[in-house]
Amino acid sequence: MENQTEMKNEKKKRIFSGIQPTGVFTLGNYLGAIVNWKKLQDNYDCIYSIVNMHAITLRQDPAELKKRTLDAYALTMACGIDPQQSILFIQSHVPAHAEANWVLGCYTQFGELSRMTQFKDKSAKHADNINAGLFTYPVLMAGDILLYQSDIVPVGVDQKQHLELARDVAERFNALYGNVFKIPEPYIADTAGGAKIMSLAEPTKKMSKSDENPKAFVSILDTKDSIVKKFKSAVTDSETDVVYREGKDGINNLMTIYSIICGKTISEVEAEFAGQGYGVFKAAVGEAVADHLAPVRDNFARISADKGYLEECYRTGAERASSIAERTLAKMYKKIGFIER
C-alpha cells in the first residue's frame, strides 16, 4: 500500500516547506501558511518540517524549545496536515540536514550571505548575539529544500531572497558535478492562502507572535472570548464604511481575514456589511475567526494528550524524510569525492 502511495506521489510535483517552533502559531501563520499547506496535500507530494535547527540562531530555553517543537508538530496536525498523506517531521531528527549544510556552505560565497537582508535585520535586533549560525542559516535552508529534490517552495516576501540563494547554490553545484539537484521554483499562493495578515494594533505591520502588545495578534489557541475582544478592539480609521481601499489598512486587514475564513470575495464582504458600520463588522470577524478555530483547538488538545501517537507520527515522519534526504546526500558525497560509508 505504501509503495502504491509513493508511486502515486512520484507523479506529483514535490513541495517542501518549514515553520519554526517559536511559539503558538498566530492567525497570520495559520492563514498565511498552514491553511495553504492543508490544501496543497491533495495535489502535491508534500514534505513539511518543524525547523527547530533554525530556531537556535537566537538563544532558546532548552525546555521551552522542546515543548514548542512538540506543540508546533501537534498544532500542524491539528490544522489539518495528515502525517499519512504528507511527510511531517522534526528537522533535527534527520541528520542529513546538518551534513548537507556543511557541503553546501563550501559552495556558497561569503558575499552572497552578507547581502541577506534578514541577517542585517536580525543582527540589528540582537546585537549581543550575532553568531555564525545567524549568518549561515540560509545555507541550512538551502539544504532543507535541495535534499528533497523539491520542485516548488511556498515563499513569502521575507523568504524570497533565501530561495534565490538555494537556486544559485544548486545551479553552481550542478554546473560542477552534473544534475544533482532539482532547481526549485517559488510557489505563489492564491489569495486564500499565503495572505499577509497584519497586526490588529498596528495594521501597517505584519502580525507577529513576538509583539509585546497581546492585542496585536491572535493565537490560534486563544479562547473565543479573547478572540472576539481582540477584534472588537482592532485599530481601524475614522470612517464607518466597510470598503477595501488604499489608506484603510485596518479595515483592509479585517476584510482579508473575513474573506479567507468565510470563503468570500472582498466584493461579497463589502455587500454583506454595507451600511452596518465598523462595530458590527469587527464583532462578526471575531465570531467567524473564533468559530473557525474551535476545531483546531479541540484537535490540538486531543493530539497533545496522546503522547504515544504523537511520538509515533514524528518518528515515522523522520524515517520517511530520511529515506529521501539520505539518497540526495549520498549523491552529493559521491560527486565531491567522499568515500562511501
Looking at the structure, tell me whether residues 176 and 264 fall in a common domain. Answer: no
- Given the C-alpha cell 507520527, which residue does it identify? 313
Looking at the structure, tell me whether residues 20 and 101 fall in a common domain. Answer: yes
pLDDT at 158: 66
Q: Is 334 a catalytic residue?
A: no
Query: Would residue 325 count as lying in a domain?
Result: yes
Residue 307 and residue 248 in contact, taking contact as beta carbons nearer than 8 Å: no
pLDDT at 192: 43
Looking at the structure, tell me whether residues 291 and 313 fall in a common domain. Answer: no
What percent of the chain has a predicted confidence (pLDDT) above 70?
A: 94
Looking at the structure, tell me whether residues 39 and 147 fall in a common domain. Answer: yes
List, for residues 195-210, the tens digit of each pLDDT value: 689 999 999 998 988 7
Calculate mean pLDDT across residues 221-249.
Answer: 94
Looking at the structure, tell me whether residues 9 and 98 fall in a common domain. Answer: yes
CB-CB neighbours of 213 under 10 Å? 10
3-class state of residue 204 by DSSP = coil
Query: Would residue 329 count as lying in a domain?
Result: yes
Residue 92 and residue 51 in contact, taking contact as beta carbons nearer than 8 Å: no
For the chain, what is the mean pLDDT? 90
Query: Would residue 89 count as lying in a domain?
Result: yes
List, for residues 276-289, the tens digit of each pLDDT value: 999 999 999 999 99
Looking at the structure, tell me whether residues 130 and 276 fall in a common domain. Answer: no
Segments forming the whole domain that contains residue 51: 2-194+306-336
Using the predicted structure, report yes or no on whether residue 7 has a pLDDT greater than 70. no
Using the predicted structure, report yes or no on whether residue 157 has a pLDDT greater than 50. yes
**Higher-pLDDT residue of 36, 8:** 36
List, for residues 121-153, the tens digit of each pLDDT value: 777 777 777 888 888 999 999 999 999 999 999
List, for residues 300-335, the tens digit of each pLDDT value: 999 999 999 999 999 999 999 999 999 999 999 999
Query: Would residue 127 count as lying in a domain?
Result: yes
Query: Would residue 247 count as lying in a domain?
Result: yes
**Residue 85: band (very low, low, confident or very high) from pLDDT cuts 50, 70, 90:** very high
- Given the C-alpha cell 560565497, which residue does it identify? 109
Looking at the structure, tell me whether residues 313 and 245 fall in a common domain. Answer: no
Looking at the structure, tell me whether residues 143 and 241 fall in a common domain. Answer: no
Query: Would residue 216 count as lying in a domain?
Result: no
Calculate mean pLDDT across residues 153-169.
Answer: 85
Residue 18 is given by DSSP the state: E
Q: Is 66 a catalytic residue?
A: no
Separation of alpha carbons 22 and 65, rounded Å: 8
| CATH number where 230 lies | 1.10.240.10
Q: Is 230 a catalytic residue?
A: no
Using the predicted structure, report yes or no on whether residue 8 has a pLDDT greater than 70. no
Looking at the structure, tell me whether residues 295 and 190 fall in a common domain. Answer: no
Calculate mean pLDDT across residues 62-85.
Answer: 95
Identity (one letter) of the amino acid at 50? I
Query: Would residue 262 count as lying in a domain?
Result: yes
Residue 48 and residue 96 in contact, taking contact as beta carbons nearer than 8 Å: no
Query: Would residue 207 count as lying in a domain?
Result: no
Identity (one letter) of the amino acid at 156? G
Separation of alpha carbons 97 and 326, rounded Å: 9
Contacts of range 102-108, beta carbons closer than 8 Å, 24 or more positions apart: 103/332, 103/333, 103/336, 104/139, 104/142, 104/143, 104/146, 104/169, 104/173, 105/136, 105/139, 107/169, 107/172, 107/173, 107/176, 108/136, 108/138, 108/139, 108/142, 108/165, 108/169
Strand order in the sheet with 185-187: 87-90, 45-50, 14-19, 152-154, 185-187
Looking at the structure, tell me whether residues 320 and 282 fall in a common domain. Answer: no
Using the predicted structure, report yes or no on whether residue 189 has a pLDDT greater than 70. no
Catalytic residue among 12, 13, 39, 209: 209
Residue 216 and residue 200 in contact, taking contact as beta carbons nearer than 8 Å: yes
List, for residues 86-119, the tens digit of each pLDDT value: 999 999 999 999 999 999 999 999 999 988 887 7
Catalytic residue among 38, 206, 230, 282: 206
Total domain count, the chain: 2
Calculate mean pLDDT across residues 233-248.
Answer: 92
Looking at the structure, tell me whether residues 281 and 311 fall in a common domain. Answer: no
Looking at the structure, tell me whether residues 295 and 312 fall in a common domain. Answer: no
| CATH number where 98 lies | 3.40.50.620
Give this prediction's pTM.
Answer: 0.87
Catalytic residue among 38, 122, 182, 230: 122
